[in-house]
Amino acid sequence: MEKVFEIYIKTTPERLWEAITDPEVRSKYNFGVRIKSDFTPGSRYETGHPNNPSILGEGENLEVDPPRRLVQTLRALWGEDVKADGTSRVTWEIEPVGDSCRLLVTHDQLREGANEELYGGWPMILSGLKTWLETGELLTTPGSLMYATPSSTPGKN
């Protein structure tokens, strides 16, 4: 199964790449979740949240071509139900379009009938990414409200 998400963001490819790979910036639009990696081909990454002592996700950086393309495996670890779905793949593709960028996120290699928690948050995450890059503000979404930390209250910078 494959899920494809496309969004246009008024930013540069370099700023968009940084927002995807920088742990601090990523936490602003990804429900407080931080990513930890050196982003080299074949390297490991993991994601976590300050309010959760466990790793929430992990994988391998398969392709790293800044600021154009990042391909990663993803193994969700936040619950037994998503662990059972195994490993999938996420591809981030950045294409400049004038003074903006087209971001295409493809989440594939999902098993048929995969848990919606694996891919259901992408519209909120990408909307938050767009809002952050274009305005510097945090976007309030159901996910941001669910996982908000006291220091990152939705709507505050």
Q: What is the pLDDT of residues 60-101, one digit of tens each?
A: 999 999 999 999 999 999 999 999 999 999 999 999 999 999
Confidence of residue 147 (pLDDT cuts 50, 70, 90): confident
User: Residue 45 and residue 57: Cα distance in Å, rounded?
Assistant: 8
Per-residue pLDDT at 151: 46
User: Residue 156 and residue 138: Cα distance in Å, rounded?
Assistant: 6
User: Residue 138 and residue 154: Cα distance in Å, rounded?
Assistant: 6
The answer to whether 5 and 102 are in contact (CB under 8 A) is: no
Q: Name the one residue in this structure whose structure tokens are 């996910």.
A: 143
* Residues across the chain: 157
Average pLDDT, the chain: 93
